Amino acid sequence: MAPHSLQDEGPADLEQDLGDAEIRPPSPPPMSAEPPRLLIIGAGSRGRTYARCSLQSSNGVIAAVAEPDDYKRQDFGTKFIWGKTTLPPNGSSFRDWKEFVAWEINRRRQQEAGETVPEGVDAAFICVRDEMHHEVIMALAPLGLHIMCEKPLATTLDDCTNIYRTLAPLQTSKVFSIGHVMRYSPHNMMLRKLLLEDNAIGDILSVHHTEPVGFWHFSHSYVRGNWRKESVTAPSLLTKSCHDIDILLWFMCSPAPGSHAPEHLPTSVTSTGSLQFFRKSRKPKAAGNATNCLSCPAEQDCLYSSKRIYVGPKHMGVETGNIRWPISIVVPDIESCGGDIDKAKAAILPKLAEDYDSSTPQEVIDGKNWFGRCVFESDNDVCDEQVVLISWEDDPLPESSATANNTRGAKQATFHMIAQTKKQCQRYTYVYGTEGEIYADSKTITVEDFRTGETKTYQPKLESLGHGGGDHGLTRQFVLAVDRVKNGGWKAENAQREFIGCSLEEIIRSHAMVFAAEEARRVRKTVHWKTWWDENIGTM
């Protein structure tokens, strides 16, 4: 994969592309007379997901795509924009985001000159590689488009704050959303309601939240794939788990809905973690000097054999008939094999055979993925296990917002990201309160009430498998916000609050917490949140 490709494989949850059609998505809202016109930048798995969700669950239309890979761009356009029998309309297909920006600037000049021009777009979904987010957002901002950016917002704290300072003045007229899909799943929305509105377990004392990435899933994205090196992308806590940190802050900082109390901000954060397993010292002796699975004497017995994962009948190999994620990441045009398993194997095996040695230029190594590379001989350096502890102290409320209990008590949240699990991104959470406790997994929420002795189990409606319905929820809410501004006369601030439900400051805060946790991990210290915030971000 070229280092500047717009293709985005999405280190996303395994469930995102597996059978959304098996569970009915929510019905779309009524179409407006002039529905929001959407541009998808990056026709990888996340771009396709948001396009599909837009058509199934929103009142927007996909009007354009920007993608450098010819096959992906054409396939995307055929499926979501112009169909199989027509050519791409003018202004619907671009080789990259730069081509779109140049075209749009020229279109506006022609329009101002009184010429007849194609209709433009209202909003953009940014689904390019993480390290490109900042550049794309900064280029789109002057165009005045509504923007939804896939997470993370950017790969450095400086870029995140720069985006904030650029977009903040535009919030009077434009909405902005981030790909924190966990906020929009029926499961997490119900859990938040139980905690903050229903007071189901009294005051929260402690939360322990786990993201089990999955043993081969981690090897795919974070050992062999795009997100394997911090110097090229970012720490795994940011690229994989930034929305887990966000959901914890959403639960723990937010005042109860309807309350005028200020947010209860953290006091400190600390973190431990490292690259524990996927390193050379763990390599089986039987593998010898092999650096590629296809030439390794231990391949047949290795859990991480690329043939086992991408070809064989176990997991999701082409022999199962799978031509979607992760196979489509190894061979983007795998669908062109037409379901012929032998043809698909013939296409994927040469990709798995690719390898590098000491003579390979570093820019070549960094510029692509190596899905046949031995996981114990890769150049990965991101954590495969990490624990983050966030603490809050007692927080007296101001008199204007005080209730019968005028102090919010001390509490803490622990996050654990672990690669070596059988579970594949099936998160689970324990919440301990003053009057009860909750266990929540990907399907159920169980409340133990100390006051009554009762146990109640809730099973939130699952709209689709994509992040528990979060993909559809985020897409629907973003497009509705755009529609209200475009067609309903709403102020952007109101649409941001009512539909997106997440401010720019919250987006920056959750990303900043990740960077603070990484600093705490690297130097083995406790970071005091307010001091760190003032020194690194200051007043926005």
Q: Specify whether 194 is located in the same domain as 178.
A: no
Joined together, the tokens standing for residue 488 give 């309903």
Q: Specify whether 269 is located in the same domain as 344.
A: no
Q: Specify whether 21 is located in the same domain as 161.
A: yes
Q: Specify whether 49 is located in the same domain as 73.
A: yes
Please indicate, yes or no, if residue 77 is contained in any of the structural domains.
Answer: yes
Sheet order of strands, 436-440 included: 455-458, 445-449, 436-440, 428-433, 204-212, 411-418, 385-392, 268-274, 527-528
Looking at residue 397, its pLDDT comes to 77
Looking at residue 467, its pLDDT comes to 66
Please indicate, yes or no, if residue 394 is contained in any of the structural domains.
Answer: yes
Please indicate, yes or no, if residue 479 is contained in any of the structural domains.
Answer: yes
**For each successive 10 residues of the chain (540 residues), what is the average pLDDT?**
38 40 69 95 94 94 97 95 91 98 98 97 97 98 97 97 94 96 93 95 97 97 96 95 96 85 94 97 97 97 96 89 91 88 95 97 95 98 98 83 68 98 93 98 95 96 68 96 97 96 94 98 97 87
Please indicate, yes or no, if residue 8 is contained in any of the structural domains.
Answer: no
Model pTM? Answer: 0.92
Domain that holds residue 421: 186-278+381-459+510-536
**Residue 65 pairs with which residues in a beta bridge?**
40, 93
Contact (Cβ atoms closer than 8 angstroms) between residue 290 and residue 304 = no
Strand segments (E) across 365-444: 385-392, 395-396, 407-408, 411-418, 428-433, 436-440
How many domains, the chain?
A: 3
Among all chains, which residue has been given the structure tokens 């495969």? Answer: 384
**What's 202's DSSP letter?**
B
Instruction: Classify strands 146-149 and 123-126 as parallel, antiparallel or unpaired.
Output: parallel
Cβ neighbours of 434 (radius 10 Å): 12
Please report, for the domain that includes residue 244, its CATH number. Answer: 3.30.360.10
Please indicate, yes or no, if residue 532 is contained in any of the structural domains.
Answer: yes
Burial of 368 (0-12, 13-18, 19+ CB in 10 A): middle
Q: Specify whether 265 is located in the same domain as 399.
A: yes
Looking at residue 450, its pLDDT comes to 98
Looking at residue 399, its pLDDT comes to 67
Q: Specify whether 106 is located in the same domain as 244.
A: no
Q: Specify whether 177 is located in the same domain as 191.
A: no
Please indicate, yes or no, if residue 373 is contained in any of the structural domains.
Answer: no
Q: Specify whether 261 is located in the same domain as 403.
A: yes
Q: Specify whether 44 is located in the same domain as 166.
A: yes
Please report, for the domain that includes residue 107, its CATH number. Answer: 3.40.50.720
Please indicate, yes or no, if residue 1 is contained in any of the structural domains.
Answer: no
DSSP-based three-state secondary structure for 412: strand
